[in-house]
Amino acid sequence: MSTVTSSSEQSLASVVIVDYGLGNLRSVTRGLERAGADVDITDDPEAFAAADGVVLPGVGAFREGVENADPLREDLLEVAESGTPLFGICLGMQMLLTSSEEGENDGESAVRGLDLIPGTNVRFAEGQKVPHMGWNELDVERDHPLVAGVDGQYAYFVHSYYTVPDDEDATVATTDYELEFPSIVANEEGNVFGTQFHPEKSGETGLRILRNFVEICAAE
């Protein structure tokens, strides 16, 4: 069990970053601190329950992410059920869905995501340049406090798979990369959400989103 704590001088909310062995933890921590959060990096479920909000980061493959996080699966589901904001970033967002084509490669059996936002993750079409890497525009499709002030702004992406929620209303914002894909999704209750891009690498746009997240946490 690991715990790393950092603090913001003007903390608006306490946020836990889930440490399951994958993810850009330090950059996410710095971004959240700039946004006004007191941050713990931990795999301690008791810390999840005590926090105002929980972040599930992720860099890498769906199967590895799901398998690494599996010991914490029930704890993460309890976070969502309790109404605590749960924010998935990049692979962390994909893990909020049910399944992924990436988890079915090489004849292996599929692995199941958290299924908090029903749907699957699919690979960009053959012929498209992958990964989708670099800056691209966010087109807000519906209201959610996470996206206040970011419609038409640009964020930084690095991914080869994109989410396809079962319910189109789960899509909060889209991005165009030869096809329109969901770049921000949320569950019906609004407390579980994710960004396909990296807010911690997205300059002022990303900082605005992280601030919005911290304000969501503070309001709970």
Among the options 64, 102, 141, 200, which is catalytic?
A: 200
Among the options 90, 102, 132, 159, which is catalytic?
A: 90
Active site residue 200: yes
Among the options 33, 64, 198, 217, which is catalytic?
A: 198
Distances (CA, A) of 24 to 20, 27, 124, 126, 151: 11, 6, 23, 28, 25
Cα 164 from chain centroid? 15
**Residue at 92: amino acid letter:** G
Q: Which helix (H) or strand (E) holds 63?
A: helix 62-69
Active site residue 90: yes
Residue with tokens 């800056």, as numbered in its chain: 135
User: CB within 8 A of 214, min separation 6: which ones?
Assistant: 12, 13, 15, 32, 35, 36, 37, 53
Determine the straight-line distance between the first and last CA of the chain, rounded to whole angstroms.
27
Active site residue 144: no
List, by residue number, the catalytic residues.
Answer: 90, 198, 200
